Structure 1
Amino acid sequence: MSDAVLVGLGAMLGAGVFAALGPAARAAGSGLLAGLALAAVVAYCNATSSARLAARYPASGGTYVCGRERLGPFWGHLAGWGFVVGKTASCAAMALTVGAYAWPAHAHAVAAGAALALTAVNYVGVHKSALVTRAIVAIVLIVLTVVTVSLLTSGEADAARLSFGTDTSPGGILRSAGLLFFAFAGYARIATLGEEVRDPARTIPRAVPIALAITLATYTAVAIATLSVLGGDRLAATTAPLADAVHAAGLPALAPVVRTGAAIAALGSLLALILGVSRTTLAMARDHHLPSFLAAVHPRFAVPHHAELAVGTITALAAATADVRGAIGFSSFAVLVYYAIANASAWTLTPAENRPPRLVPALGLTGCLTLAFALPLTSVLAGSAVLATGALLYATTRRASAF
């Protein structure tokens, strides 16, 4: 179970602290913590629904498989399509985060190289990937602990900056929650490992809430520390919130530590993201919703090597040209729709199938759709267009198979 928890931690810790705090603060200002709390509630509902479904259907593919089995082939296809496309955008965002912190002058080249290198790590099997993730998670947690304690004990920390100000609004809080949800979606990688963990019916439901709880505690501590030093306005204006916070607190010696921690955290997130996207791609290819050559499994390493190579290559190409903020918004919309389908699927479980309390999937479904359409308009339009393309692809393939 520890490796499954680490896969989720590696995916979540890299995204939120270093990539999503700035855009979320621009949306909500001093209401950032309220947005974080709302995102956590929705993430908890999603995690609970996903864990119960993954225990019932322990196969690669996550909500793609569950949506197909519980709601029908179209909804499974739409969930899988949203996950693959949205999480490929997340891969690009994480690769760009690596480049921005490791070598800003050549961020795109470093991002593409990181995507290809971690694809090679995943290629040799999930167990070796888990060993790398274990080291990454340990380093990131140490760095974040040192930085958080240093900020909170500095003379610049002021609890008054945590109070709501005129820079926030209900709409801004909803928008920030949608953006911060990007940071919590890593537990999906646990649910996609159903065929690669021992006793998935027991392991997955336990691993998901543990990974989510550790991540939430970490995010809350870091957000409080950063907001108490910078305040809503300065946090909203920065693209490197932790680095700027240590400078503002009179601790410039910690800036290289933050930069190193950010690059390592993003690498950990990218590692798990590529792993999860390739598993859903494998499941969709097996059912002919994607090209069948993507369903190939390596005879020695037992991984979907064609799917991993495809995801890694597309990520590298996107990282060479994409914008990290746009990637986060687009990814959030697609993945929120994915989890809306997960919650709708969990609603159909029976008590004998270990159904969660009905309030959980109901709140999760409502929350996902609300946050998705509260995102910036460009993200909503782009995400809707891509999902419509996925629906058209489904209709086309179904029509072709009928002849």
Structure 2
Amino acid sequence: MTELTGALSNTEPPTSVALRGNLGIFQITLLVIAAAAPLGAVVSAAPIGFMVGNGPGLAGAFLVAGLMMLCFSVGYGELIRAIPGAGAFYKYLSVVFGARVGAGAAWVALASYLAIAISLATVTGYFTDLTLQSLGINWGWKTWTVLVIALTAYLGRANIDFAAKVLVPLVLAEFFMLFVLGLSIVMDKGNAALPLQAISVSAITAPGMGVGLMIALAAFLGVESAALYAMEARRPEKSIPGATRLAVALVAATYFVVIWLVVGDIGVDTIKEEAATAQGELVINLFSRHLGGTVATIVSIMLCTSNFACLLSLHNAATRYVHVLARDKHLPSVLANTHLQKKSPANASLFVTVLVSICIAVPASLGYDPFVFLFPVTLALGTIGLIGLQAFVSLAVIAHFKKVSDRRYFRILISPLFALGGLSVAVYLICANYGLLTASESVWVNGTPILLLVLFFYGLIKGHSKPV
């Protein structure tokens, strides 16, 4: 840690220069969508939902999750508009419930983003190695993980406008490939491509509904991160709420329609068994059958870039939490310093990179396979942390606007109330199925959510009483 502090202070001289960027609604929307990783969610997460969740009812589960997140984004957008400034969960919960509660939430958010960044760095290196082995390139997952972390570190220290230029084409390419797959299924199946049975109440509430809804909501992680770019956006009072709602709408529509089409293509009665057989190859096989083996190979490679885009987006989110926490004296002030030329939170980015690297290097050096040992635990921990905070913020929307006697009932009461109820149920379901997410029977592993409670109460006790 001494070496890290020295590197930070020597590389970046102390400065109070503000973060700067020129992000508009379009760029912020795609930064947020990158965190949701649409291609990764459809190719990697959906087969698990089909297999151990509610089968064909997964399409309906994504519809419910999408509506829930749209309601969350409506209330969240109004809170963003009413409480200007950077900090996202930290900022809003501090203003509504007090600085100490906000500090506790900030620690939970930072831990959650770091956990997911660790899981994504691991899975990106792992699957990049598996994908390129088929092309005769066998460098090993450790090499690819190091390269992925190094590239993330470089882009994370750059001005956010530059990072956006890298992420935008990657995200657009993901949407394009999913659109092409969906179009090919419709052209092949016609009306049968969208079976009404898949979105019926009986299909949605079939055994495994809890798992299906849990996986659907987990696919939306990171959609709240637009507010973290407030200091780097043009007209943040308009671009941040607009980008949040647009990102959620695009992602929700894409997930729902594509997964519904996958069910229609494979068959309502056979999707569960087919997913159990093909597992991670389920959607890749559809690309191969409809568009050819070459396209399927391209999609496999794009899955790696999708994971990387998601990693970079969440790295940026964690970086900005570190920056804001350091600025408000919850972390060493050196982490709040900004790069004089790039106007980026370079010190905070380096700190996040070092933490992620250590958390992967330690189990690797002890002989553990981080993909098996680390990936499921960190992903599960980050999922429960962020969904729990989304529910907390929905409560904050209701509480804040009740104080100011606002009468826009749909935006500031009905929508956040629906989101609060649904997300609270999701937190319960995740806790009840936590062992499924971690793929472990260890009491220690499945007790990791206690860490989030410890961090929250640490922030509650140690948090500054000054307003944010």
Q: CA 1:302 to 1:56, structure 2 compared with 1: closer, same or farther past 3 Å? A: farther
Could you tell me which residue of structure 1 aligns to residue 453 of structure 2?
A: 388
Give 5+ residue unaligned stretches, structure 1: none
| Worse-matched range after superposition: 267-276 or 167-176 | 167-176
Structure 2 counterpart of 1:194: 230
1:129 aligns with 2:163: yes
Query: Residue in 1 aligned with 2:55?
Result: 29
Task: Report the CA distance between 1:374 and its aligned residue.
Answer: 0.4
- 1:28 and 1:176 in contact (8 A); partners too: yes
> Match for 1:253: what amino acid?
T
What is residue 37 of structure 2 aligned with on the other side? 13
Q: Tell me, yes or no, if the aligned pair for 1:71 and 1:345 is still in contact at 8 Å.
A: yes
Match of 1:366 among 400, 421, 424: 421
* 1:4 paired residue among 13, 28, 36: 28
Q: Equivalent of 2:274, from 234, 257, 260?
A: 234
Q: How does 1:1-400 map to 2 (within 5 A)?
A: 1-14=25-38, 15-25=40-50, 26-104=52-130, 106-154=140-188, 163=198, 169=205, 172-230=208-266, 231-236=271-276, 238-247=279-288, 251-318=292-359, 321-323=370-372, 324-347=375-398, 348-349=400-401, 350=404, 356-375=411-430, 376-378=433-435, 381-382=446-447, 384-394=449-459, 397=462
Residue by residue over 1:178-230, the C-alpha shift from the partner in whole angstroms, topping out at 9 and shown as x without a partner, is 22222223322211111111111111121111111111222123212322334
CA distance in 2, matches of 1:116, 1:252: 31
Report the 3-state secondary structure (helix = DSSP H, G, I; strand = E; otherwise coil) of the residue aligned with 2:349.
helix
Query: In terms of mean alpha carbon deviation, does 269-278 or 20-29 score higher?
Result: 20-29
Q: Given the two structures, how large is their TM-score scaled by the length of structure 1?
A: 0.88
Which range moved further: 70-79 or 128-137? 70-79
CA distance in structure 1 between the partners assigned to 2:149 and 2:171 by the alignment: 18
Counterpart Cα distance in 2 of 1:268 and 1:162: 34
Paired residues of 2:48 and 2:275 also in contact (CA < 8 A): no
SS at match of 2:265: helix
CA distance in 1: counterparts of 2:74 and 2:189, whole angstroms: 40
Contact 1:111/1:316 (8 A) holds in 2: no
Distance 1:144 1:319 in 2: 32
Write the distance in 1 (CA, Å) between the matches of 2:163 and 2:407: 32
* Structure 2 residue matching 1:289: 3-state secondary structure: coil
Deviates more, 1:27-36 or 1:320-329: 320-329
Larger CA deviation: 113-122 vs 167-176: 167-176
2-structure distance, mates of 1:169, 1:80: 35
Structure 1 residue 369 displacement after superposition: 1.4
Deviates more, 1:143-152 or 1:296-305: 143-152
Deviates more, 1:205-214 or 1:75-84: 75-84
Structure 1 residue 160 displacement after superposition: 5.7
* CA drift at 1:353: 10
**CA distance in structure 1 between the aligned counterparts of 2:44 and 2:384, rounded to whole angstroms:** 16
Deviations 1:86-122 (A, max 9, x none): 1222223333443344221633542342133122112
- State the 1:308 CA deviation: 1.1
* Structure 2 SS opposite 1:372: helix
Contact 1:58-1:201 within 8 A present in 2 as well: yes
C-alpha separation between the residues in 1 aligned to 2:447 and 2:207?
A: 20
Aligned residues: CA RMSD: 3.1
**Deviation by residue 1:276-323 (Cα, 9 ceiling, x = unmatched):** 111122222222333433222222222222221122233344456244
Q: Which has the larger radius of gyration?
A: 2
Write the distance in 2 (CA, Å) between the matches of 1:71 and 1:87. 22
Deviation at 1:253, TM superposition (A): 3.3
Secondary structure of the corresponding residue to residue 205 of structure 1:
helix
User: Which region of structure 1 is more displaced relative to structure 2, 239-248 or 177-186?
Assistant: 239-248
1:162-182 CA distance string (max 9 Å, x none): 647999755622322222222
Percent identity over paired residues: 18
Distance 2:253 2:347 in 1: 37
CA 246–390 in structure 1, closer or farther in 2 if over 3 Å, else same: same
Give the number of aligned pairs.
401
| CA–CA separation in structure 2 for the residues paired with 1:300 and 1:24 | 46
| 1:8–1:272 contact (8 Å) kept in structure 2 | yes
Partners of 1:2 and 1:80 in 2: CA distance = 27
Q: Distance in 1 between matches of 2:76 and 2:257?
A: 26
Whole-angstrom CA distance in 2 between matches of 1:107 and 1:222: 30
Structure 2: runs of 5+ lacking an equivalent: 1-24, 134-139, 362-369, 439-445
**Distance change (3 Å), C-alpha of 1:132 and 1:18:** same
